[in-house]
Amino acid sequence: MGKVKAVFICQECGYESPKWMGKCPACESWNTFVEEIKGEKVLTPILKVSPLKIDEIEVTNEIRYSTSMEELDRVLGGGIVKGSLVLVGGDPGIGKSTLLLQMANNVASNGHLVLYVSGEESAKQIKLRAERLNVLSSNLYVLAETNLNNIEDVISNLKPSVVVIDSIQTMYKPELQSAPGSVSQVREATSAFMNIAKNLNIATFIVGHVTKEGSIAGPRVLEHMVDTVLYFEGERHNTYRVLRAVKNRFGSTNEIGVFEMKQSGLEEVKNPSEILLSGRPKDVPGSCVVCSMEGTRPILIEVQALTSQTNFGMPRRMTTGLDYNRVILLIAVLEKRVGMYIQTYDVYVNLAGGIKIEEPAIDLGVLCCIASSFKNIPIDNQTVIIGEVGLTGEIRGVSMIEKRILEAKKLGFKRCIIPKENIKGLDSIEGIKIVPVENVYEALEEVLGG
């Protein structure tokens, strides 16, 4: 029996200390050290391995499973890669388990064995949710277990094509003295599932809890070990959910999938632009449409701005779905380059639909919305505004301008304000008026009439 000793481990970054500390010296988090029992390291035999020449390594095309959900396939890079390890994070109640149960049923319906392991719900609870979601495939197996040794034994005997672990924070290895959810247990459990995925060629999905800051709970090494990290985002009071990849070894990290939460489960939103623009007001100051690229998909979104004169010395600035500092910068450009005196006005900017956008290509639309509300002049509701704004008031070019314009044309818009740099090669696009602008002053003259 090896000697055991107590160590204190930071639950945020995994830093180890022989004594308790209030502040972690590695990640500078407060009150994150938890005592754990650690045994002596066991020496393992050294196996002889030899390197391979890169031109001698055989490469085969990854075998992918379709989830029968185009939005999920898009985010994964074309489907589930055989032997991949995918981490799915999101706020409680956002729909992680619902999404993975529907995905598991679709894969099982295509003839693949799928094992759904739940450490948070009993088999009967999963059955009740499955009936509501119309999950009926006989190739879908359910296991309510948290002991990692038992789960490994079931997987090796069943040999499924896809495994879902819900969630990694509930899994534990009996050999470790620490409690489930601790840094040691999470790290050991993830390492075990990674070995299962790679050695048995089983695609594995892991659900991860998130902290109050919105990041995956547990050590940061968790995100480094997996192949793909997906975040399921959305407002609890809003029916729309966004699935976003922040790491993907088998595809782009810029893609998003949009779903709508209904009584029967999550439904794909094929055209997010049409949904996000529904109910848009007409001929109202402070409202316009911008186009953002999420991966290869253009999305049209309504920007709303409201300026209101304040009686206090410090005007208020509020943003929803936008970077606060970016909006402050655009207000400063309006004051310095255009001469709009907004210092005595409160400014509120909102992206309709509860979506969050950080792309600078929507800068010009946000700026025009603020100016429209300030001057009380409405922007033509058949106009889409695209462009990045610099500190000197210039309008910078953006990427994939043709896709943005074609998306606007498809949804019936008649005019598109774009940067002058992007005008080359757009002569072939007909049915929509393209207006190039060089600076903020030109754009406001075109949008608001001076």
From first CA to last CA, the distance across the chain in angstroms is 83
Q: Over pLDDT 70: what percentage of the chain?
A: 93
- For residue 186, which of 211, 217, 214 has the smallest C-alpha distance? 217
On whether the CB atoms of residues 97 and 166 are closer than 8 A, the answer is: yes
pLDDT in the model for residue 63: 79
d(CA 71, CA 275): 15
Our measurement of the distance from residue 97's CA atom to the centroid of its chain's CA atoms, rounded to an integer in Å, reads 16
Q: Per-residue pLDDT tens for 257-277?
A: 889 888 888 999 888 888 888
Give the residue numbers of the binding site: 90-97
Nearest to 217 by CA among 163, 149, 167: 167
pTM of the model: 0.76
CA-to-CA distance for 335 and 86, rounded, in angstroms? 47
- Once rounded to an integer, what is the mean pLDDT over residues 346-369? 92
Question: pLDDT tens, 272-314?
Answer: 888 888 888 888 999 999 999 987 889 999 999 999 998 888 8
Binding residues for ATP: 90-97
Q: What is the pLDDT of residue 1?
A: 45
pLDDT of residue 185: 86
